């Protein structure tokens, strides 16, 4: 049996919001598999250590002056709601690694509040990051993919975008739009050789979840081999992302994969 079709080696990959949590796990996984990755979020001081750790690992893996198969990383500061910053991100990526093969629209944020307590500014902020950020990055980076040989775009939604969320109605609405957008775009850009898919994670133990939802589950305490779970590890989302970025998912387009553990029939 071969696992070659699951490889992302040699690909150029941008993962937005990769300073922490799921995004960080994705860049680490992709680099380990030989992809060149762009680590990006709003603050240079948070992304540099992630890129440095990847490049240190690549140097450690080099033997006798020979290049290792480990991917390289650059750190590029970019707020996904800022169109000019997204354009600069694309340019910095092409300069460092060449045309972009894979874009992972992972940057996201939320806060918990009853609907009546969400101010116009709070609503707009959450829709801006989760939906408009996906729009900017996809349009700017995707145009380059269309001019080249195509690519893969993977959007990070949420189960909140599938079923709604009592405490995060703004976030649920934005993520529902991301799921719908995935289907529209897959149809639009299939003829350009671009596959567009989406992941809807359930609860995953990350910094974001710890600060937004007050859940202090440590990912280290989560056992991947346990089927009966309602919380996942970031690398379980990285696994699904690698599948969608790789040739193994060649007949999958416009879909949303839910990654959330065991379904509960009593809800
Ligand atoms: P996290 O808070 O740990 O990481 C979010 C990342 O996005 C960080 O790097 C942050 O700096 C970045 N970011 C936020 N706003 C940004 C902006 N305007 N521009 C650029 N970067 C920005 O969160 P996480 O839990 O790892 O979540 C990653 C993605 O997965 C998000 O889209 C989130 O909505 C989604 N998700 C997470 C969970 C979960 O349980 N952790 C569940 C469902 C969906």
Quick count: other Cβ atoms within 10 Å of Cβ 126?
24
Which of 109, 177, 232 best tests ligand 1's pocket when mutated (most atoms within 8 Å of CB)? 109
Known catalytic membership, residue 171: yes
Tokens of 145: 């993919």
CA-based nearest residue to 245, from 150, 131, 157, 158? 150
**Residue 74's beta-bridge partner residues?**
38
Give 29-59 pLDDT, tens digit per residue: 999 999 999 999 999 999 999 999 999 998 8
Residue nearest to atom 16 of ligand 1 (CA): 107
**φ/ψ of residue 153, rounded to 5:** -120, 130
The model's confidence at residue 67, banded by pLDDT at 50, 70 and 90, is confident
Dihedral of alpha carbons 93, 94, 96, 101, sign: positive
Residue spans per domain, the chain: 4-259
The model's confidence at residue 26, banded by pLDDT at 50, 70 and 90, is very high
Q: How far apart are CA 91 and CA 129, in angstroms?
A: 21
Which of 15, 18, 22 best tests ligand 1's pocket when mutated (most atoms within 8 Å of CB)? 22
pLDDT of residue 60: 86
pLDDT of residue 218: 72
The model's confidence at residue 267, banded by pLDDT at 50, 70 and 90, is low
Give 192-235 pLDDT, tens digit per residue: 999 999 999 999 999 888 877 767 667 778 999 999 999 999 99
Place of tokens 């997204």: 86
Give 170-179 pLDDT, tens digit per residue: 999 999 999 9
Percentage of the chain surpassing pLDDT 90? 87
**175 touches 161 (CB < 8 A):** yes
Q: How far apart are CA 56 and CA 68, in angstroms?
A: 11
pLDDT of residue 65: 67
pLDDT of residue 10: 97
- Three-state DSSP state, 206: coil
Place of tokens 């995953």: 204
Fold of 4-259: Rossmann fold (3.40.50)
Q: How far apart are CA 186 and CA 195, in angstroms?
A: 6
């Amino acid at each position: 049996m071969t696992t070659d079709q699951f490889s992302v080696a040699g690909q150029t990959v941008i993962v937005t919001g990769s300073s922490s949590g799921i995004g960080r796990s994705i860049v680490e996984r992709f680099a380990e598999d030989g992809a060149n990755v762009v680590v990006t979020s709003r603050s240079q001081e948070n992304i540099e250590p992630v890129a440095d750790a990847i490049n240190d690992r690549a140097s450690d893996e080099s033997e006798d002056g020979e290049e290792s198969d480990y991917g390289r990383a650059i750190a590029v500061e970019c707020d996904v709601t800022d169109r000019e910053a997204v354009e600069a991100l694309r340019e910095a990526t092409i300069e460092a690694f060449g045309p972009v093969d894979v874009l992972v629209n992972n940057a996201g944020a939320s806060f918990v509040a009853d609907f009546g307590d969400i101010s116009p500014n709070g609503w707009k902020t959450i829709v801006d990051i989760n939906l408009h950020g996906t729009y900017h990055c996809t349009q700017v980076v995707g145009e380059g993919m269309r001019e080249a040989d195509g690519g893969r775009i993977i959007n990070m939604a949420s189960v909140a975008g599938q079923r709604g969320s009592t405490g995060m109605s703004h976030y649920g609405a934005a993520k529902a739009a991301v799921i719908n957008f995935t289907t529209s775009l897959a149809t639009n850009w299939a003829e350009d050789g671009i596959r567009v898919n989406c992941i809807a994670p359930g609860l995953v133990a990350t910094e974001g979840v710890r600060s937004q939802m007050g859940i202090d589950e440590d990912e280290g305490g989560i056992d991947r081999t346990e089927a009966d779970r309602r919380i996942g590890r970031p690398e379980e989302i990285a696994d699904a992302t690698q599948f969608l970025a790789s040739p193994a998912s060649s007949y999958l387009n416009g879909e949303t994969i839910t990654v959330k553990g065991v379904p509960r029939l009593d809800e």
